[in-house]
Amino acid sequence: MSADTEKTSSEAVKGLKGIIAADSSICLVNGTEGKLLYRGYNIDDLAENATFEEVSFLLLNGELPNESQLADYQNELKKHRSIPAELIDTLKNLPESAPPMALLRSLTSLAGVYDPDAEEESYEKRLEISIKLISQIPTMVAAIHRIRKGLEPVEPDSSLCHAGNFMYMLNGEKPSEDATRAMDLILTLHAEHGLNASTFTSRVIIATLPDIYSAITGAIGALKGKLHGGANTEVLKTLFEIGSIENITPYIKNVRENKGKFMGFGHAVYQVEDPRAKHLKELSRRLGEETGEPKWYEMSIEMEKQVYAEIKRNCNVDFYSASLQHYMGIPGDLFTCIFASSRIAGWCAHILEQLDGNKIIRPKANYIGYEERSYVPVSQR
Ligand SMILES: CC(=O)SCCNC(=O)CCNC(=O)[C@H](O)C(C)(C)COP(=O)(O)OP(=O)(O)OC[C@H]1O[C@@H](n2cnc3c(N)ncnc32)[C@H](O)[C@@H]1OP(=O)(O)O
Ligand SMILES: O=C([O-])CC(=O)C(=O)O
């Protein structure tokens, strides 16, 4: 009998909640204190002071870069920004109606096919592929955004920083300093979060020793789900569906009566406020004022209050990122792709960590099926 078919009395831990599945020095998520550290640095410090270039370097390498390391890293990111023309050609032939995350998942897989280094196994090459992916996922996302709007993709601009260039490739216009900072903050806050579902997926895949593109393609698939990264898209849909503050109470009643879920609320780890939410909330407030459309922010504030009163769950990172990204002119169905453009840094850091002293990840199921039984020929069933 294989391990899976052995009868066992032990019970499965649903969702593997609380199970320690790896040693990791990348990120601490303290769910009772509401504290998040990337490589020991508090997310509040990073949100206020660091750029995504510094944060992604930190996640990959374990330390913040000094000036010359940062300059080299920025140059490397810039060098890799363009994606193969074949990806653009393929994208133009894929259905425009496909969800952007499905397009991103497909393009990432295809990028691996066109990367001559994809199967390289040295640490140096794997680090280079990681940097390439951190650089190119935003280029893919911007191309997806523009092509489905019937526009040509915009070539990257090497005079712009990572976040500024991302905004530029999305909109075709040089972004303001404020818009660049807003994107930088979103990228910093979403970059890493321990063994969440998509990161765990990336580690499970890389542990079988395929190539990094395979692991990232799988991670994008996991992030797409609405219980994970896909929740931000659902939050904006919810706000639009509710439409005004007066409709929040009946909406909540309806969700409860139908045993539904409040998207952007609850968390597998945080029992207190998600430490990232306040940063997104404050920026959403500011942009709501600046755009003269404070309604979505104000509705979010009221939702937060009423949902907490109803289910005693705080909002998570996906909640205020919805109104915020809406104010930034990003369409709702692209939000999860923006999330992926950030979380790629965490995924790659975990992939490199997993490969250092790798062991295949293979838990065991508590078999609850039939005892052994005899095959019955089809004519006798
Ligand atoms: C980047 C991220 O991935 S952050 C999370 C993004 N996802 C969402 O916002 C989707 C809505 N939230 C949820 O579905 C959940 O809170 C999750 C998936 C995030 C966490 O799930 P769990 O770890 O099971 O959380 P928890 O133990 O608190 O949930 C227990 C019960 O509380 C209730 N609950 C938790 N969150 C919610 C919610 N948002 N709305 C309604 N009820 C909820 C449910 O009854 C849940 O049981 P169920 O999942 O069987 O329906
Ligand atoms: O950690 C989790 O379970 C979900 C996640 O990715 C995040 O909150 O950023």
Distance CA 93, CA 136 (A): 20
For residue 264 and ligand 1, the question of a CB distance below 6 A is answered with yes
Res 7: pLDDT: 45
> Are 317 and 339 contained in the same domain?
no
Segment 212-249, tens digit of pLDDT: 999 999 999 999 999 999 999 999 999 999 999 999 99
Asked if residue 246 is part of any domain, the answer here is yes
Identify whether 80 is a catalytic site residue.
no
The rounded Å distance from CA 325 to ligand 1 centre is 22
Task: Report the percent of the chain where pLDDT is more than 70.
Answer: 98
Domain residue limits at 196: 25-227+331-354
> Are 109 and 213 contained in the same domain?
yes
> Are 317 and 349 contained in the same domain?
no
Asked if residue 7 is part of any domain, the answer here is no
The ipTM (two decimal places) reads: 0.99
The rounded Å distance from CA 266 to ligand 1 centre is 5
Asked if residue 19 is part of any domain, the answer here is no
Segment 335-369, tens digit of pLDDT: 999 999 999 999 999 999 999 999 999 999 999 99
> Are 158 and 131 contained in the same domain?
yes
Q: Choose, from 228, 318, 326, 350, the residue flagged as catalytic.
A: 318
Domain total of the chain: 2
| Ligand 1 atom nearest to CA at 255 | 41
Identify whether 267 is a catalytic site residue.
yes
The rounded Å distance from CA 265 to ligand 1 centre is 7
Q: Which residues contact 357 (CB under 8 A, 6 or more apart)?
A: none
Distance CA 246, CA 259 (A): 21
> Are 193 and 240 contained in the same domain?
no
Res 96: pLDDT: 87
Res 2: pLDDT: 44
- CATH code, domain carrying 252: 1.10.230.10
- CATH code, domain carrying 117: 1.10.580.10
Q: Choose, from 267, 279, 326, 350, the residue flagged as catalytic.
A: 267
0.90 exceeded by pTM: yes
Res 37: pLDDT: 98
For atom 15 of ligand 1, the residue with the nearest CA is 266
For residue 156 and ligand 1, the question of a CB distance below 6 A is answered with no
How many other C-beta atoms lie within 10 A of the C-beta of residue 197? 17
